[in-house]
Copies of this chain bind each other. A is one copy, B any other.
Amino acid sequence: MSSAPRTARAVAREQLTRAILDSAGTQLAEVGPAALSVRAVARDLGMASSAVYRYFRSRDALLTALIVEAYDDLGGRVEEGAASVPPDDLRARWGVVAHVVRDWARSQPHRYALVYGSPVPGYAAPEDTVAPARRVTQPMLELLRDAQRAGLRPAGPTDVPAEEEAGLTPVLESVEPPLSPAWGVAGLTAWATLFGHVSLELFGHMHNAVLDQDTHFACVVDRTAHDLGLA
């Protein structure tokens, strides 16, 4: 149980767990989450289907692991991206975060669809997925907090009804010092724009409308930056 000298069994277990997740990830890209099959994974790895149950308690547990992995992967990249620009260049930070999300989604469309697309029927995501999911949004919230701290103000109306202010409590208090209601609404709107754009593009709704997706996305990011008062 000590840390350094891994036992042969533990090493094998770790490797096979990875191999199962990788194979399942490939599956996912081909048949989608609803058709993800324990037997197909086992077949792919040349083992009995029952053996997979030594590693994942059920098909749903395997799906949960894939979801957590996807959030962690994207979350890690967003964190890295946010940290890669000068802390006080908020416009650049927003641009990097937005482009990281879109680039990741485009390079791994099935993983994006797994976490931000339609829910998988009959599957209820357990609590384990909540914390990884937050890794993606937390850097955005910190960006808003820093903008507020810097004395910036979002564009547009700044008067938020009391009812809304109360309803936003979880968002507003997810950073220290807490966000003002106006920043909360502006941030949630920008969040909807970003993920809305990526979903529409990835799911094929822009195909007949916009010819140059990269250029258009840059414009949308610019617009949202203005809306957030960052430029």
Contacts and interface: CB of A to CB of B under 8 A. Distances in A.
Nearest to A136: B205
A8 interface: no
A185 B221 CA distance: 11
Given A157-B226, A212-B163, A215-B164, A192 B203 contact: no
A209 interface: yes
A223 B189 contact: yes
Interface stretch (A11-19, A40-48, A75-83, A168-176): A168-176
Contact of A156 (B34, B209, B211, B227): B227
A178 interface: no
Interface stretch (A54-62, A88-96, A114-122, A145-153): A114-122
Interface residues of A, number: 61
A121 B192 contact: no
A87 interface: no
A130 B35 contact: no
A121 B32 contact: yes
Contact of A208 (B170, B204, B224): B170
Contacts of A64: none
A195 interface: yes
A212 B166 contact: yes
A193 B189 contact: yes
Given A166-B212, A167-B215, 13 more contacts: A113-B118, A125-B204, A130-B208, A137-B209, A157-B222, A160-B219, A163-B212, A164-B212, A189-B197, A189-B220, A191-B196, A191-B200, A199-B199
